[in-house]
């Protein structure tokens, strides 16, 4: 089979021919149809992600496909079942073996590319806004990086939860996409003063931040008392330092959000969230945005789209 493999952190990944793997105890083998790309894939290639596997490994955190085989002592899902899986890695290949407990049967009518673009981004945003921040209808939500993979889902879910959504993104084209997802107010991160604009709108009750850097600092200073700030990631490459005295004075709360961590120490939170999200999708309440769909042999191009921030929503790689 073909697989996009990392053999060294000092050289780019390469497409290799490798034997089709056999599932182990408690695993399923998946005939992979689609794999969603995430910013974490770029970090993993450099060895800087918090859960980077041992070399060599195959990139690709979230996949969708058809169960092809079951390992020993594995009850299901049955062979032939259409599922999505967050495996953490191993998705950018024609076949992959994953923990059966992480397989989620796909709703009728959900396409493989949609499913591969769904779990990490929507799961992160729903867990952050609903479970962590306990966001309430009528509160003001500020979303940074609002046209990116997770940011766009935060806009969409925030609006669905009844928030007044402020979207911050780079340029008119990206802001237009955020507006279509439900944003009430738009801020251009290049030309607008974020702090001034947000304060003029009354300040933020919840800040959703996958960017970090200077935007975090500006958003931090535009928070209302008792606001909740959600660091999701640091796409800017700059991890901000948080002044504890400002937290005290304004009674602010900073809540870290790592969706994958809940799969380890509190998986039921993820299961409950995904159940809600799949129901919302079936009801037509969510519309995943995929800006690029590319075949497996063009995975390098897909990674470059993330690296250069030229994509919006999700980039999906297909293998069939």
**Going from the N-terminus, what domains does the chain have, and what CATH number goes with each?**
2-118+288-318 (3.90.180.10), 121-260 (3.40.50.720)
* pLDDT for residue 22 is more than 90: yes
pLDDT averaged over the chain? Answer: 95
Residue 81 binned pLDDT confidence (cut-offs 50, 70, 90): very high
Please report the pLDDT score of residue 109 as a whole number: 87
pTM: 0.89
* pLDDT for residue 237 is more than 90: no
Average pLDDT over residues 255-266: 92
Give the pLDDT confidence of 263-281 residue by residue, as tens digits.
889 989 998 999 899 999 9
Average pLDDT over residues 214-224: 96
Average pLDDT over residues 226-250: 93
Please report the pLDDT score of residue 207 as a whole number: 98
Mapping DSSP onto H, E and C, the string for the chain reads CEEEEECCCCCCCEEEECCCCCCCCCEEEEEEEEEECCHHHHHHHHCCCCCCCCCCEECCCEEEEEEEEECCCCCCCCCCCEEEEECCCCCCECEEEEEHHHEEECCCCCCHHHHHCCHHHHHHHHHHHHHHCCCCCCCEEEEECCCCHHHHHHHHHHHHCCCEEEEEECCHHHHHHHHHCCCCEEEECCCCCHHHHHHHCCCEEEEEECCCHHHHHHHHCCEEEEEEEEECCCCCCCCCCCCHHHHHHHCCEECCCCHHHHHHHCHHHHHHHHHHHHHHHHCCCCCCCEEEEEEHHHHHHHHHHHHCCCCCEEEEEECC
* pLDDT for residue 90 is more than 90: yes
Give the pLDDT confidence of 102-112 residue by residue, as tens digits.
999 998 889 99
* pLDDT for residue 291 is more than 90: yes
């Amino acid at each position: 089979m073909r697989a996009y493999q990392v053999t060294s952190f000092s050289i780019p990944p390469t497409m290799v021919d490798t034997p089709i793997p056999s599932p182990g105890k408690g695993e399923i083998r998946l005939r992979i149809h689609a794999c969603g790309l995430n910013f974490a894939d770029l970090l993993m290639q450099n060895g800087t992600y918090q859960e980077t596997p041992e070399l060599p490994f195959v990139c690709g955190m979230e996949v969708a496909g058809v169960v092809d085989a079951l390992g020993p002592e594995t009850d299901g899902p049955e062979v032939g079942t259409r599922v999505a899986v967050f495996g953490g890695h191993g998705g950018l290949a024609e076949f992959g073996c994953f923990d059966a407990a992480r397989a989620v049967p796909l709703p009728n009518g959900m396409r493989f590319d949609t499913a591969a673009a769904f779990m990490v981004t929507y799961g992160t945003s729903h867990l952050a806004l609903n479970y962590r921040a306990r966001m309430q209808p009528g509160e003001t939500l500020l979303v940074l990086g609002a046209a990116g993979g997770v940011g766009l889902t935060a806009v969409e879910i925030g609006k669905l939860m009844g928030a007044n959504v402020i979207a911050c993104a780079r340029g008119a084209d990206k802001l237009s996409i955020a507006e279509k997802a439900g944003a009430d107010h738009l801020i251009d991160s290049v030309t607008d003063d974020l702090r001034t604009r947000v304060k003029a709108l009354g300040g933020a009750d919840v800040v959703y931040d996958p960017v970090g850097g200077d935007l975090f600092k500006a958003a931090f200073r535009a928070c209302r008392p008792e606001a909740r700030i959600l660091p999701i990631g640091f796409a800017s490459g700059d991890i901000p330092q948080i002044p504890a005295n400002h937290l005290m004075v304004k009674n602010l709360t900073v809540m870290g959000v790592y969706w994958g961590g809940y799969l380890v120490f509190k998986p039921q939170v993820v299961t409950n969230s995904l159940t809600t999200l799949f129901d919302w999708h079936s009801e037509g309440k969510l519309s995943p945005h995929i800006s690029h769909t590319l075949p497996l042999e063009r995975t390098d191009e897909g990674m470059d789209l993330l690296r250069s921030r030229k994509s919006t929503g999700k980039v999906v790689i297909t293998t069939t």
